[in-house]
């Protein structure tokens, strides 16, 4: 009984995100003109997957009480790179995929190294590196174009056994292979500790630097996976500035919806995934209720504001007003 209570208290943010998503998706599915169908799920999944990958990346950094404003630009950069190198024979394609993921890793490592050794604030660092990554993307693809191995692209954006959307499977596998071991490793826990109280983590001898470095590096890798999938969906590479920035901002929104504390130390990438899915569903909801798509930003903002307010209820009970600012 008490075990359950502790488990629930640990997972509250994530469960809330799952709840919000399930509720929104049910409303969407039941009101969909074509009814609940495999096709509908696949379309929804493909739309949400990209943001989900970037949100996972953002969550891992935010847990350390940092922020990564370059995730969208890493996505754009890796998209442009993939449109050059993920082509040709199976072997060439495989090497290309490795190259794209490696580029993402490298971007993340640069972020991590600058934040740790340059002792710069993450927000400034990643604005600067983000601009640099976009510069490289623009160099790779001054004009939209390129191509991708279409067999692989279709396989990863289609359906598995005719029912399950492959993109969703890829998302689940990524969470299982990257997030689960990371969150249970010594470094991962040090990341939570750093985000919760860096001084206490230092005094306790937790590996703070390794934790931050790993967090930024993984964020780069996850953004690159997002970039790969963007290429698989679009078959081209495009250095699109606005869409890169939108991914960055939406990733922060998704993270907040997913119950990850922007103060650090609390939350999970699973929550962020559901936060991303819920955020994307807002647009779909407007569609089924025949709202003008122009309403979308307004409603996304409202939902986000509502979700953040839920988290602020605790402040009402604070008895020392100085804690408001803590």
Q: Tokens 């890796």 label which residue?
A: 78
Q: Distance between CA 249 and CA 244 in Å, rounded?
A: 9
Q: Distance between CA 302 and CA 296 in Å, rounded?
A: 10
The whole-angstrom distance between residue 116's C-alpha and the CA centroid of its chain comes to 22
Q: How, if at all, do strands 159-160 and 164-165 pair?
A: antiparallel
Binding mask 218-247 for another protein (x = CB under 8 A): ------------------------------
Q: Distance between CA 4 and CA 11 in Å, rounded?
A: 10
Q: Distance between CA 34 and CA 32 in Å, rounded?
A: 5
- DSSP assignment letter at 258: T
Q: CB neighbours (10 Å) of residue 121?
A: 12
The region of 99-107, 148-156, 158-166, 185-193 touching another protein under the rule CB under 8 A is 185-193
Q: Applying CB under 8 A, which of residues 57, 206, 222, 278 lies at the interface with another protein?
A: 206
- Distant-in-sequence, close-in-space partners of 97: CB < 8 Å, separation ≥ 6: 82, 86, 228
Whose Cβ is closer to another protein: residue 69's or residue 260's?
A: 260
1 near another protein, judged by CB under 8 A: no
- DSSP assignment letter at 32: -
Minimum separation from the CB atom of position 286 to another protein (A) = 36
Strands (E), 122-176: 159-160, 164-165
Minimum separation from the CB atom of position 196 to another protein (A) = 4
Minimum separation from the CB atom of position 272 to another protein (A) = 16
313 near another protein, judged by CB under 8 A: no
Handedness of CA 282, 284, 288, 291 (dihedral sign): positive
7 near another protein, judged by CB under 8 A: yes
6 near another protein, judged by CB under 8 A: yes
Minimum separation from the CB atom of position 268 to another protein (A) = 12
User: Which residues, 256 to 275, sit near another protein by CB under 8 A?
Assistant: 261, 265-266
Q: Applying CB under 8 A, which of residues 15, 128, 189, 245 lies at the interface with another protein?
A: 189
Whose Cβ is closer to another protein: residue 106's or residue 198's?
A: 198
Radius of gyration of the CA atoms of the chain, in A:
20
- The size of the interface with another protein (CB under 8 A), counted in residues, is 33
User: Which residues, 55 to 114, sit near another protein by CB under 8 A?
Assistant: none
Q: Distance between CA 218 and CA 196 in Å, rounded?
A: 19
Q: Applying CB under 8 A, which of residues 1, 2, 34, 89 lies at the interface with another protein?
A: 2
184 near another protein, judged by CB under 8 A: yes
> Which stretches of the chain bind another protein, using CB under 8 A?
2-3, 6-7, 9-10, 181, 184-186, 189-190, 192-193, 195-197, 199-206, 261, 265-266, 318-322
């Amino acid at each position: 009984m008490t075990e359950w209570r502790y488990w629930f208290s640990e997972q509250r943010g994530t469960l809330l995100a799952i709840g919000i998503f399930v509720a929104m998706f049910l409303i969407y599915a039941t009101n969909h003109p074509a009814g609940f169908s495999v096709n509908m799920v696949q379309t929804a999944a493909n739309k949400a997957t990209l943001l989900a990958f970037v949100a996972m990346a953002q969550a891992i950094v935010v847990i350390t009480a940092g922020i990564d404003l370059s995730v969208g630009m890493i996505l754009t950069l890796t998209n442009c790179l993939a449109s050059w190198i993920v082509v040709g024979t199976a072997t060439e394609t495989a090497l290309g995929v490795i190259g794209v993921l490696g580029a993402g890793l490298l971007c993340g490592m640069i972020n991590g190294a600058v934040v740790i050794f340059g002792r710069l604030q993450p927000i400034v660092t990643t604005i600067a590196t983000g601009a640099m990554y976009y510069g490289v993307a623009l160099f790779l693809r001054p004009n939209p174009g390129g191509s991708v191995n279409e067999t692989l692209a279709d396989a990863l954006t289609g359906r598995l056994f005719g029912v399950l959307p492959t993109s969703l499977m890829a998302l689940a596998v990524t969470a299982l292979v990257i997030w689960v071991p990371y969150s249970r490793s010594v470094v991962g826990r040090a990341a939570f500790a750093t985000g919760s109280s860096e001084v206490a983590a230092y005094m306790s001898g937790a590996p703070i630097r390794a934790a931050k470095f790993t967090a930024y590096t993984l964020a780069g890798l996850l953004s690159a996976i997002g970039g790969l999938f963007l290429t698989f969906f679009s078959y081209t590479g495009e250095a699109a500035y606005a869409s890169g920035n939108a991914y960055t901002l939406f990733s922060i929104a998704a993270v907040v919806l997913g119950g990850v504390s922007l103060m650090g130390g609390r939350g999970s990438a699973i929550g962020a995934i559901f936060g991303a899915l819920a955020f994307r569903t807002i647009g779909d909801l407007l569609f089924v209720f025949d709202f003008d798509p122009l309403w979308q930003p307004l409603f996304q903002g409202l939902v986000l504001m509502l979700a953040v307010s839920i988290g602020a209820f605790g402040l009402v009970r604070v008895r020392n007003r100085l804690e408001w600012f803590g």
